[in-house]
Amino acid sequence: MSKIKAIRGMNDILPDQTPVWQYLEATVQRVLGAYGYSEMRMPIVEQTDLFKRSIGEVTDIVEKEMYTFDDRNGESLTLRPEGTACCVRAGEEHGLLYNQNQRFWYQGPMFRYEKPQKGRYRQFHQIGVEAFGMAGPDIDAEIILISAALWRELGMSDAVVLQLNSLGSNAARAEYREALVAYLREHYDALDEDSQRRLESNPLRILDSKDEGTRAILEQAPRLQDHLDEESRHDFEQLCSMLDEAGIRYEVNPYLVRGLDYYCKTVFEWVTDKLGAQGTVCAGGRYDGLVKQLGGKPTPAVGFAMGVERLILLLETLDVVPADVRQTFDLYLAAEHKGLQHQVILMAEQLRQAVPGLRVRTHCAGLKNIAAKARQTGAPAIALMRADEDKGHQMSLWHDGETEYDLSPDAMIEKLKALFA
By the criterion CB under 6 A, which residues form the site for ligand HAM?
82-84, 112, 114, 119-121, 124, 126, 128, 130, 260, 280-285, 287, 303-305, 307, 309-310
Q: How far is the CB of 418 from ligand HAM (least distance, A)?
A: 44
Sign (positive or negative) of CA dihedral 237, 238, 240, 244: positive
Cβ proximity to ligand HAM: between 217 and 290 the closer is: 290
Cβ proximity to ligand HAM: between 109 and 380 the closer is: 109
Helix (H) or strand (E) holding 174: helix 170-186
Q: How far is the CB of 187 from ligand HAM (least distance, A)?
A: 28
| 162/144 Cα distance (integer angstroms) | 9
Axis-axis angle for helices 48-55, 84-93 (nearest 10): 110
Cβ proximity to ligand HAM: between 82 and 330 the closer is: 82
How far apart are the two ends of the chain, measured CA to CA in Å? 51
Cβ proximity to ligand HAM: between 53 and 363 the closer is: 53
Sign (positive or negative) of CA dihedral 196, 202, 206, 211: negative
Q: How far is the CB of 69 from ligand HAM (least distance, A)?
A: 19
| 6/392 Cα distance (integer angstroms) | 51
Q: How far is the CB of 15 from ligand HAM (least distance, A)?
A: 22
Q: In the complex, which residue's CB is closest to ligand HAM?
A: 307
SS3 123: strand
Q: How far is the CB of 250 from ligand HAM (least distance, A)?
A: 16
**What is the phi/psi pair of residue 388, to 5°?**
-110, 135
Q: How far is the CB of 350 from ligand HAM (least distance, A)?
A: 45
**What is the phi/psi pair of residue 96, to 5°?**
-95, -10
Q: How far is the CB of 301 from ligand HAM (least distance, A)?
A: 8
Q: Return all residues near 373 (Cβ < 8 A) that are at least 6 apart.
A: 334, 363, 365
Nearest CA-CA partner of 69 in 45, 52, 89, 43: 45
| 284/263 Cα distance (integer angstroms) | 8
Cβ proximity to ligand HAM: between 116 and 254 the closer is: 116
Cβ proximity to ligand HAM: between 130 and 330 the closer is: 130
Angle at 216 between CA 212 and CA 219, to 5 degrees: 135
| 245/235 Cα distance (integer angstroms) | 15
Sign (positive or negative) of CA dihedral 409, 412, 416, 417: positive
Cβ proximity to ligand HAM: between 9 and 222 the closer is: 9
Cβ proximity to ligand HAM: between 94 and 115 the closer is: 115
